């Protein structure tokens, strides 16, 4: 064997090893949404300690909260921070309001808090706030640039994946956005791709399951089917989560944007209060989700999918029923069911 062969074999081995080393472990990929819709929730300091004790390294917060920022200082927990929909109009129309927002909530804490993303609006597309999303994203982006933070903090928006956005998802190759959503998403996705930022998508196999339980069956939504459920050309789907995520990639391709990346900004399963909502279902869904996302999806194999589980605590001020019961912990910080985040 010549030297050059040995060198190239060594290079291949290094590449293979590199590929494995580059796959992050579950703990770095998994974040948890910290919703505030409860009047009995623990103090932010205790919540941050709970994240740390569970080895959770990422948090999604739906709106700024100075007590939480204070508690996060020095924790190294990476934060996805939301801009509430009620602020979109102002931030879209006023760059000085955007500068103020970034100075007050981000810059003032950025030496101690690991801001990673700003989610400008949640489920604002389609709808009467939708036209404010991109201009608000642009103003927040400029404000971050002025503060010298545009490279470390990515600006995006969170969208749902129900029928009003993702008109079709099965098979994933049929994926396409509704025209009401596409009107806004076309320019937003261009902006994201240009800035190397992901689109945030909320993915709920639970909703599909509730809508059509007999057709979807007991395994496909829970990541525990042992065989292919949907064959889509060369791609085999064993779980509904992957099908929804890949349908988003396809829908984006159909808008002329093959380079979109996504982060799953919400996914979860309720443990009570509705059809299919049991502790066992919620435990299996969330545990299998945690175990799965490092593998990517059939169309983006081994492209680890950063995912925020919805959510940390049950929230007693939300709509009665399943909406109150997505928490993995009770407000007293006891687990609703056992779960392993590692
Ligand atoms: C997508 O990325 C490829 C590879 O970097 C590039 O050649 C192509 O122009 C990009 N397409 C768009 C629409 O941005
Ligand atoms: C998959 O999980 C669901 C929810 O707990 C359960 O109903 C179903 O029987 C499981 N299937 C297998 C093959 O374990």
In-domain check, residue 14: no
Q: Which ligand 2 atom sits closest to the C-alpha of 284? A: 5
Whichever domain contains 267, its CATH number is 3.20.20.80
User: What confidence tens digit (pLDDT) does each residue in 76-121 have?
Assistant: 999 999 999 999 999 999 999 999 999 999 999 999 999 999 999 9
How far is Cα 90 from Cα 267, in angstroms, rounded to an integer?
Answer: 29
In-domain check, residue 1: no
In-domain check, residue 25: no
Q: Is 334 exposed, middle or buried (0-12, 13-18, 19+ CB in 10 A)?
A: exposed
| DSSP line for 96-128 | HHHHHHHHHHTGGGTTTSEEEEEEEEES-SSST
The DSSP call for residue 275 is T
How far is Cα 84 from Cα 69, in angstroms, rounded to an integer?
Answer: 16
> What pLDDT does residue 233 have?
97
Q: Which has more confidence, 46 or 342?
A: 46
Compute the mean pLDDT over every residue in the chain, rounded to the nearest whole number: 93
> What pLDDT does residue 61 have?
98
Kindly compute the dihedral angle of the four CA atoms of residues 141, 300, 163, 280, in this order, to the nearest 10 degrees: -110
Among candidate residues 213, 196, 216, 202, the one with its CA nearest the CA of residue 277: 213
Q: Which ligand 1 atom sits closest to the C-alpha of 193? A: 14
Distance from the alpha carbon of residue 259 to the mean position of ligand 1, in angstroms: 6
Q: Which range (25-34, 240-249, 283-292) has the least confidence?
A: 25-34
Q: Is 196 in the pocket of ligand 1 (CB under 6 A)?
A: no
Tell me: pLDDT of 209 over 70: yes
In-domain check, residue 334: no
Q: Band the pLDDT of 18: cuts 50, 70, 90.
A: very low
In-domain check, residue 205: yes
Q: Band the pLDDT of 130: cuts 50, 70, 90.
A: very high
What does the radius of gyration of the chain's CA atoms come to, in whole angstroms? 20
Q: What is the pTM of this model?
A: 0.92
Q: Band the pLDDT of 7: cuts 50, 70, 90.
A: very low
How far is Cα 91 from Cα 101, in angstroms, rounded to an integer?
Answer: 8
What number is the average pLDDT over the span 241-267? 98
| CA dist 302 → 24, 25, 169, 294, 295 (Å) | 10, 12, 21, 7, 5
Q: Which ligand 1 atom sits closest to the C-alpha of 257? A: 13
How far is Cα 131 from Cα 89, in angstroms, rounded to an integer?
Answer: 9
Q: Is 259 in the pocket of ligand 1 (CB under 6 A)?
A: yes
Angle in degrees, CA 57, 249, 30, rounded to 5: 10
Q: Band the pLDDT of 124: cuts 50, 70, 90.
A: very high
Among candidate residues 319, 134, 285, the one with its CA nearest the CA of residue 206: 285
User: What confidence tens digit (pLDDT) does each residue in 145-195 have?
Assistant: 999 999 999 999 999 999 999 999 999 999 999 999 999 999 999 999 999
In-domain check, residue 177: yes
Q: What percent of the chain has pLDDT over 70?
A: 92
User: What confidence tens digit (pLDDT) does each residue in 302-311 have?
Assistant: 899 999 999 9
Q: Is 224 in the pocket of ligand 1 (CB under 6 A)?
A: no
Active-site position among 257, 266, 306, 311: 266
Number of domains within the chain:
1
Token pair for 144: 């971050």
Mutate to test the pocket of ligand 2, among 219, 241, 287 (most ligand atoms within 8 A of CB): 219
User: What confidence tens digit (pLDDT) does each residue in 191-207 have?
Assistant: 999 999 999 999 999 99
- Going by alpha carbons, the residue nearest to atom 9 of ligand 2 is 218
Domain extent for 49:
30-325
Q: How crowded is the C-beta side of 58, counted as CA atoms within 13 Å? A: 22
In-domain check, residue 61: yes
> What pLDDT does residue 302 have?
87
| Lookup result for tokens 């989700």 | 289
In-domain check, residue 39: yes
Distance from the alpha carbon of residue 20 to the mean position of ligand 2, in angstroms: 31
The ligand with the least distance to the CA atom of 196 is 1
């Amino acid at each position: 064997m010549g030297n050059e062969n040995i060198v190239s074999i060594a290079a291949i081995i290094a590449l293979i090893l590199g590929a494995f080393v580059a796959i992050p472990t579950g703990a770095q990929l998994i974040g948890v949404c910290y919703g505030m819709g409860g009047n009995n929730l623990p103090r932010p300091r205790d919540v941050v300690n709970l994240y740390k004790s569970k080895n959770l390294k990422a948090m999604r917060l739906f709106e700024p909260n100075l007590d939480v920022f204070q508690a996060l200082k020095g924790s190294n927990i990476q934060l996805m921070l939301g801009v509430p929909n009620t602020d979109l109009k102002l931030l879209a129309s006023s760059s000085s309001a955007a500068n103020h927002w970034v100075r007050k909530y981000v810059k003032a804490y950025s030496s101690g808090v690991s801001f990673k993303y700003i989610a400008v609006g949640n489920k604002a597309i389609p709808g009467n706030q939708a036209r404010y999303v991109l201009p608000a994203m642009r103003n927040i982006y400029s404000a971050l640039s002025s503060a010298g933070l545009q490279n470390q903090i990515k600006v995006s928006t969170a969208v749902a994946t129900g029928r009003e956005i993702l008109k079709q998802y099965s098979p994933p190759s049929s994926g396409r956005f509704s025209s009401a959503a596409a009107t806004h998403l076309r320019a937003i996705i261009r902006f994201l791709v240009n800035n190397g930022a992901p689109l945030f998508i909320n993915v709920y196999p639970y909703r599909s399951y509730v809508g059509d339980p007999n057709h979807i069956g007991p395994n496909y939504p829970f990541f525990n089917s042992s065989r292919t459920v949907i064959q889509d050309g060369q791609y085999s789907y064993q779980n509904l989560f992957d099908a929804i995520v890949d349908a988003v990639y396809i829908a984006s391709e159909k808008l002329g944007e093959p380079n979109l990346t996504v982060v799953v900004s919400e996914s979860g399963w309720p443990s009570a209060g509705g059809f299919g909502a049991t502790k066992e279902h919620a435990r299996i869904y969330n545990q299998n989700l945690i175990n799965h996302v490092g593998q990517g999806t059939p169309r983006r194999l081994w492209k680890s999918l950063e995912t925020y589980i919805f959510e940390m605590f049950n929230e007693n001020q939300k709509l009665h029923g399943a909406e109150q019961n997505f928490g993995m912990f009770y407000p007293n910080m006891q687990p609703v069911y056992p779960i392993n985040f590692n």
